[in-house]
Amino acid sequence: MSNCGRRVESWVDLYDLPTILKDKPVFETLDTLPADAILGLIAEHRNDPRDNKIDLGVGVYRTSAGETPVLDVVKVAEQRLLDQQTSKAYIGTAGDPEFNAAMQRLTFANPALDERLMTMQAPGGSGSLRVAAGLLLRANPDATVWVSEPTWANHHPLLGGAGLNLKPYPYYDTASHTIRLDAMLGALSGAARGDVVLLHACCHNPSGLDPSEEQWRAIADVIVERGLVPFIDMAYQGFAEDIDRDAFVIRHLADRVPEMLVCNSCSKNFGLYRDRVGTVSVLAEDTSRRDVVHSQASNVVRTMYSVPPDHGAAVVSIILSDASLRANWLIELAEMRDRLKSMRSLLNDALESKAPGADFSHLVRASGMFCFLGVSKEQVAKLKTDYGVYMVDSSRINVAGITEANVEYLAESIAAVL
Ligand SMILES: Cc1ncc(COP(=O)(O)O)c(C=O)c1O
């Protein structure tokens, strides 16, 4: 055994820390990493004294008052939980079976698949992606995971950092603001049998552009023909069209493939960001394979965070199992979705009048919280310095930062830098 270049004869020697540290403090080997781009942007926006500043960078939903409120149904369910909860003892590695069953129904809506499906509570969408990565690494460490170009900024560090081998497939054409379907299908046709394809179920982050049902069917055809494994990230169910239509690709593929993985996040659609609520689901060939996968996934969890956090999942479970709370949740979800849609239209309309000749119609073709504005890095910088309009370098914007009150100024600022 060796530690810091010094031979250590037994673990007992490790207690001789002062001597070892004198040789070389262990953290001296580390360097400071560059600040996270979005966190840096949030701080810059916070410190900007201008009254008319606009934040289009941050990745959470906001109301027209600029708030990210707790949903009313969440408040009711939390009160119920507070009144009824009798213990804070550990929950099982796989979480609460009732929550898992409710999330499985919300996602797949097909009881006929129950015998082949397992669903596990996980700490948010990110936690569920990390569990899925652990599972994939055990099942096929040599598999390539194909990810859209571009994709959510955290997919690479999260999945690649876990040890998966990632490769990009073309997805978004920045010039025409359309999906590069042929190029995508071409790339996936060259994938090896058993390779994994990461798809965004809806509200593609960062582009906001989702395939139509017809395009999804064509993508599914290639997946089936090539024997690929779909790995679907659904962080925005209900933010594009509705709960069912947003799950189209999952349900379509579940009818056609022997195996697939799905990661859900309840951060956005239940507004439970900091409570860390999500699930990882695996569809297996049959019940016995499903049980094997369950035992392996449980072990991945056990060796990572042991058991998931429970408060947010218990809240979701209460909401989904109570007809009236569920109906009210769907109303609140629709309010968020409709506000995002109307802000897209408002900005597009305002730009039509302030910047005639420029085409921003892709703003309304996209859905969910994000899309690219479609301006250069230099224009992004000018928007920030000259107008106090903040967005990430790629010009990805969070349309939840647009309000009736700021849209005119926003459109004028954009028109001024074009
Ligand atoms: C595409 C995508 N997947 C997963 C996540 C992770 O969500 P969570 O906050 O639940 O970890 C996000 C969050 O922004 C996302 O955009």
Say yes or no to pLDDT of 354 above 90. yes
Ligand 1 proximity of 278 Cβ (cutoff 6 Å): yes
Cα 337 to the center of its chain, rounded Å = 16
Q: Is 152 in the active site?
A: yes
Report the pLDDT value the prediction gives residue 10, as an integer from 0 to 100: 57
Cα 83 to the center of its chain, rounded Å = 32
Average pLDDT over residues 312-318: 98
Ligand 1 proximity of 211 Cβ (cutoff 6 Å): no
| CATH T-level assignment (fold) for domain 90-321 | Aspartate Aminotransferase; domain 2 (3.40.640)
Say yes or no to pLDDT of 75 above 90. yes
Q: What is the CATH number of domain 37-69+331-417?
A: 3.90.1150.10
- Please name the residue whose Cα sits nearest to atom 14 of ligand 1: 59
CA–CA dist 171, 151 (Å, integer): 9
Average pLDDT over residues 67-78: 97
Q: pLDDT of 190-243, one tens digit each? A: 999 999 999 999 999 999 999 999 999 999 999 999 999 999 999 999 999 999
The band of 150, judged by pLDDT with boundaries at 50, 70 and 90, is: very high
Ligand 1 proximity of 125 Cβ (cutoff 6 Å): yes
By most ligand atoms within 8 Å of CB, the mutation choice from 36, 38, 128, 154 for ligand 1 is: 154
* Active-site residue, from 246, 268, 329, 384: 268
Say yes or no to pLDDT of 2 above 50. no
Q: Is 268 in the active site?
A: yes
Say yes or no to pLDDT of 4 above 60. no
Average pLDDT over residues 269-281: 98
Cα first-last separation, the chain: 62
Distance from the CA of 125 to the center of ligand 1, in angstroms? 5
Helices (H) and strands (E) in the chain, counts: 16, 15
By most ligand atoms within 8 Å of CB, the mutation choice from 38, 198, 267 for ligand 1 is: 267
CA–CA dist 356, 358 (Å, integer): 6
Ligand 1 proximity of 368 Cβ (cutoff 6 Å): no
Report the pLDDT value the prediction gives residue 37, as an integer from 0 to 100: 80
Report the pLDDT value the prediction gives residue 25, as an integer from 0 to 100: 84
Helix (H, G, I), strand (E, B) or coil at 156: helix
Say yes or no to pLDDT of 153 above 60. yes
The band of 16, judged by pLDDT with boundaries at 50, 70 and 90, is: low
Q: In the structure encoding, which two tokens stand for residue 224, read together?
A: 């089936």
CA–CA dist 314, 99 (Å, integer): 7
Report the pLDDT value the prediction gives residue 38, as an integer from 0 to 100: 83
Q: What are phi and psi of 224, to 5 degrees?
A: -70, -50
Say yes or no to pLDDT of 125 above 90. yes
* Active-site residue, from 53, 55, 146, 152: 152
Closest CA to 239 of 301, 330, 161: 330
Q: pLDDT of 174-196, one tens digit each? A: 999 999 999 999 999 999 999 99
Sequence ranges of the domains in the chain: 37-69+331-417, 90-321
Average pLDDT over residues 149-173: 97
- Please name the residue whose Cα sits nearest to atom 2 of ligand 1: 235
Task: Tell me the average pLDDT of the chain.
Answer: 94
Fold: same for 37-69+331-417 and 90-321: no
Helix (H, G, I), strand (E, B) or coil at 135: helix
DSSP code string of 277-342: -EEEEEE-SSHHHHHHHHHHHHHHHHTTTSS---HHHHHHHHHHHSHHHHHHHHHHHHHHHHHHHH
Q: pLDDT of 24-69, one tens digit each? A: 788 989 999 887 888 889 889 999 999 999 999 988 999 999 999 9
CA–CA dist 185, 6 (Å, integer): 54
Report the pLDDT value the prediction gives residue 5, as an integer from 0 to 100: 46
Report the pLDDT value the prediction gives residue 33, as an integer from 0 to 100: 87
Q: Is 216 in the active site?
A: no
- Cβ–Cβ < 8 Å for 388, 48: yes
Report the pLDDT value the prediction gives residue 15, as an integer from 0 to 100: 59
Ligand 1 proximity of 152 Cβ (cutoff 6 Å): yes
Residue with tokens 């379907």: 181
- Please name the residue whose Cα sits nearest to atom 8 of ligand 1: 125
Bond from prior residue into 150 cis (ω within 30 degrees of 0): yes
